[in-house]
Amino acid sequence: MSRNLIIGTALSSLVLLAALVSFVWTPFDHAAMNIPAKLQTPNGTHWLGTDHFGRDIFSMVMVGARTSIAVALVAVGIGMSIGIPLGLTAAARSGSWLDELIMRGNDLVFAFPSLVIAILITAIFGAGAVNAIIAIGIFNIPVFARITRGAALSLWQREFILAARVSGKGAARISAEHILPNVANLLIVQGTIQFSLGILAEAGLSYVGLGAQPPTPSWGRMLADAQTMVSLAPHLALIPGSAIILTVLGLNLMGDGLRDWLDPKLRVGRT
Amino acid sequence: MIRYTLKRLLSLILSLAVASLVIFFVIEVAPGDPASFMLGLNAQPDTVAALRAELGLDQSQFGRYLSWVTGMMHGDFGTSYTYRTPVAGMISDRLWVSLPLALYALILSTLIAFPAGIYAAARRGKTGDMAVMGATQLGVAVPNFWFAMMLVVIFAINLRWFNAGGFAGWDKGLLAGLHSLTLPAISLALPQAAILARVMRSALLDILGEDFMRTARAKGLSRRQALWRHGLRNAMIPVLTIIGLQFSFLLAGAIIIEQVFYLPGLGRLVFQAISARDLIVVESVVMLLVLAVITVNFLVDLAYALVDPRLRSRT
């Protein structure tokens, strides 16, 4: 295992652990205000200090990890569960009108950056974590469709697929039984990368008020709250910012490490 | 080349048509009637009806779609529900902030990424390469709006080299305008520069292993000469793709960065419009962003064909 994979997995696990532990324990109630103790810098009682309402920042960061992970994870899930079947279908019917339709549809979705999708959804249904998930998820669909199709196309030329066809298997069965397992590694790596992009996107959307709404804590909103006080109490911005950076860095390192660690033969098929 | 261009142009027009349909009908399903929203809860039904007629809301959906699209082609984006002024004017005012900001960031990102990527590729595996790659790994992980806040703390609040926010206006001169866009542009450019530098490096490394590079070296060119004369041009294809993709991220990213610096750009406009349910403004801004993305991708496709003549014969 490479150094990247070890550091990346350690960082990601740490964040995941913080999120899971926050369900049963946080140092303080993350929503409890304590005005006399406001704007404290990190100290023995409040390990990462307090915000302008005297809320414990360490507890907020822990619960915020939950929001970030949940949004990014479900968004990757949406992208995979719709994008992968689309990509497999397009590759199986390569060159047909169906392939063309799927790929042009992909191009179209690509023209809507996730922030723009989020703006559209918010204009209709209002802001919220669920809408952030949908926006990031929709943007993930063409990513997975393209990468699946690209890798699957080269596999369709291989002899073991020909053997499967000769033995009478249909395109759907071949895709599920032979193509999918062979592109799985690639998809796992891409999944890690999209997961980290999802964390960044969620933070951005929450920052501009299109993501999770109060009282749900989120790293992006903690930064938005910190903005007016950043000269007074820089730790308000430094801590949630570092949480985002460490998480994204961890996931990216893990993705890089996984790519090198998993079957190197797949690199040939990557588009 | 002409056939290739026409084919791409056709696909551009089709994409725009479908995108406009999607945007219009997605916004159409939005609950709530803009006219009732504007007039408040106590409005008389006949007042609401009159306003609906004035705004053209009493026409059929398809009729309104057609007049929206034909209007846009003539530069008429309709009238804002809340401000009662032409949307086109509101957008073009803001565009003079958002577009220069995205371009400024794109230039900065390219200026940082090209030397960094080339340097790293030329020193593959050495300390310089590792340092650049480490920096890009960090650059990708930093949320740009957070980086923007840090820049404000350092360069605006402590060093006082820049204003913490606001836009001087182009009427104060080009330099004053650029000065107020510098911190926003740097914060937008950083993550994109990190991505671009990585792409540049890996594209160059792929090229360095090619036969024609060995031939160039065998002809007596130094490693550096071969890299500059033959390597860079061939590495441009993946790099151009990313630059094209980045422009759309920069334009969308500008929406968030504008919030940090209180810049009067498209982002501010669209967030105000969302909270005021000024759907026609939201619709038009979104359409404009999508138009920008599709057009840039079209230009990138054309640039490919110029860089690599082989692509012209393919679809």
- The set of residues, in sequence order, having a beta carbon less than 8 Å from that of A40 and lying 6+ positions away, is A46, A49, A50, A54
- The set of residues, in sequence order, having a beta carbon less than 8 Å from that of A26 and lying 6+ positions away, is A56, A58, A59, A62, A63
Which of B16, B22, B82, B149 has the most A C-beta neighbours within 10 Å, making it the best mutation to test the interface with A? B149
Please check whether residue A84 is in contact with residue A140, taking contact to mean a CB–CB distance below 8 angstroms.
no
| Banded pLDDT at B214 (limits 50, 70, 90) | confident
Residue-averaged pLDDT of chain A: 88
Question: What tens digit of pLDDT does each residue of B104-116 get?
Answer: 999 999 999 999 9
**Residue range B157-170: mean pLDDT, rounded:** 86
**Residue range A108-129: mean pLDDT, rounded:** 81
Q: How many CB atoms lie within 10 A of CB B53?
A: 12
Please check whether residue A140 is in contact with residue A83, taking contact to mean a CB–CB distance below 8 angstroms.
yes
DSSP run (H or E) holding B140: helix B127-141
CA distances from B250 to A113, A246, A266, B282 (A): 10, 23, 32, 19
Question: What tens digit of pLDDT does each residue of B281-314 get?
Answer: 888 888 988 898 888 888 888 887 777 777 666 5
Residue A11 to residue A87: CA distance in whole angstroms: 32
Please check whether residue B187 is in contact with residue B257, taking contact to mean a CB–CB distance below 8 angstroms.
yes
Question: A230 vs B248: CB contact, 8 Å cut-off?
Answer: no
Structure tokens at A156: 């369709």
| Banded pLDDT at A269 (limits 50, 70, 90) | very low
CB-nearest to A230 from B140, B153, B294 is B153
Compare all CA atoms of chain A with the CA of B29 and give the residue at the minimum distance.
A124
Candidate from A22-26, B154-158, B176-180, B242-246 with smallest mean pLDDT: B242-246
More confident residue, A109 or A17: A17
% of chain B exceeding 70 in pLDDT: 97
Q: Of chain B residues 247-306, which have a CB less than 8 A from chain A?
A: 248-249, 251-253, 255-256, 259-260, 267, 270-271, 273-274, 277, 279, 282, 285-286, 289-290, 293-294, 297
Compare all CA atoms of chain A with the CA of B155 and give the residue at the minimum distance.
A231
Residue B157 has pLDDT above 70, yes or no: yes
pTM for the predicted model, two decimal places? 0.86
- The set of residues, in sequence order, having a beta carbon less than 8 Å from that of A270 and lying 6+ positions away, is A147, A150, A151, A186
Residue B136 zone, left/alpha/beta (φ > 0; ψ -120 to 50; rest): alpha
Question: What tens digit of pLDDT does each residue of B242-277 get?
Answer: 888 788 778 888 888 998 899 999 888 988 888 787
% of chain A exceeding 70 in pLDDT: 96
Distance between first and last Cα of chain B:
11
Question: B279 vs A234: CB contact, 8 Å cut-off?
Answer: no
Q: Which residues pair with A236 in a beta bridge?
A: none
Question: B256 vs A207: CB contact, 8 Å cut-off?
Answer: yes
CB-nearest to B149 from A115, A237, A245 is A237
Residue B253 to residue B256: CA distance in whole angstroms: 5
The pLDDT of residue B230 is: 83
